[in-house]
Structure 1
Amino acid sequence: MTTTTLIIYFSCSNKNAAINVFLYLASMNFNFYFLQSVFEIINSQSGDVYFINWGLLNTYNIIALACALVGFVLYYWNKQSKLSSLLYALPISGLLAETIGVSIYLYNYHTFLGQFVFDFLSFIALGYWFYKKANNKFLYIITVIIVSSIGYFLVYHSFL
């Protein structure tokens, strides 16, 4: 979430942001499944080797395409309109929801400490940075609270 937010922030246009986000996420997906297949071939004891799990690769690439569309819209935070404070708050809300979910998982199962530390520090740094850039600080804070609560209960709460 952090790297995708930074890719959107440092893009030069909304089209560029969408393309960059899609290429970044799709290449991560392909590299993960390609390397998984290579390791499976190397470590395989039987002749049954499936090269790439195309179903999951396609599923995650469709999600990458959806994230690219989100990046296209989020780039408009640079327009300094009334909606820019809301747009600045959306990725921070997702990061806060993830941080809360990972912290509860860390407390219960004593794992994912690295992810928790990275998410927490990213939330603090990006949250402060975007707070300073937001025109309407009240709208920014309210959006972070409401959207992160909704995101936590819709996405992360069911897994804990």
Structure 2
Amino acid sequence: MSKVLTHSTKSYIKIFFVGILVGCICRLADYFPADTLWSFSSIQTLLGFWIITNTTIVLLSTSNICAGISSFLYMFGMTLSFYGLQAILGMFVPLFSGGFRFSLFVLFTLLSIPCAIAAYILYYWNREYIFNSILYSLPIGALAAEATAIFIYFLEHHTFLFQLLMDVVGVIVFFLLFYKRAKSKKIFIVASVISSLIVYFVFPW
């Protein structure tokens, strides 16, 4: 996979605006009705969306510093546009009334920091150490755990199908990609299963 994100101002500006664009798309998705089969209005509400996008950022980065900063700027840009667009649209569309939700904006901006730290650490999977097998397993384990939880919820409530498919595709794509890169295939598989079980039973679904 070509690494297009670099430790440069130009690259950081680009990823920031990508975050703004994604945030606008997610906010506009609120036009879709809630609690439907596909649940397009809830694309960004679950972990899978964040895991997939931030893992992709790490894959496209040229260094751990680049991965961390790019992840933060992407998340911050998305948060800014998500709540900023709500405030703007709220002046014309009742669906988005409520103004600029400053407390939520601050909360998710702060949550961007641990995401950046995670991206910084995950980049070390590029090192030729056995430990990279564990790092590669983490996004897969988390996605698999959420996919399992959503699948159970889907069977009961017949909703979140889009999120379920997104997680399943994410697991398959990342597994095939990371399996080839992992220093130890056995450790990679075992760590993927263990991390999936930990996330599934620890996270408050």
TM-score, length-normalised on structure 1?
0.90
- For residues 27-106 of structure 1, the aligned pairs below 5 Å read 27-44=77-94, 50-106=98-154
2-structure distance, mates of 1:152, 1:38: 38
Q: Which amino acid aligns with 2:108?
A: Y
Deviation, 1:39, is 2.2
- For residues 1-160 of structure 1, the aligned pairs below 5 Å read 1-44=51-94, 50-155=98-203, 158-159=204-205
Count of matched residue positions in the alignment of Structure 1 and Structure 2: 154
Q: Which runs of 5+ in 2 are unaligned?
A: 1-50
Q: Which amino acid aligns with 1:40?
A: G
Larger displacement relative to structure 2 (3-12 or 35-44): 35-44
Could you list the structure 1 runs, at least 4 aligned residues long, displaced by more than 6 angstroms after superposition: none
1-structure distance, mates of 2:169, 2:134: 21
2-structure distance, mates of 1:25, 1:101: 24
Percent identity, aligned pairs only? Answer: 35
SS at match of 2:130: coil
Q: Which runs of 5+ in 1 are unaligned?
A: none
Larger displacement relative to structure 2 (94-103 or 7-16): 94-103
The Cα RMSD (Å) is: 1.5
Larger displacement relative to structure 2 (13-22 or 53-62): 53-62
Q: Which amino acid aligns with 1:68?
A: A
Structure 1, residues 61-97: CA drift from partner, whole Å, max 9, x if none? 1111110001111100001112100111111111111
Deviation, 1:43, is 2.7
TM-score, length-normalised on structure 2?
0.71
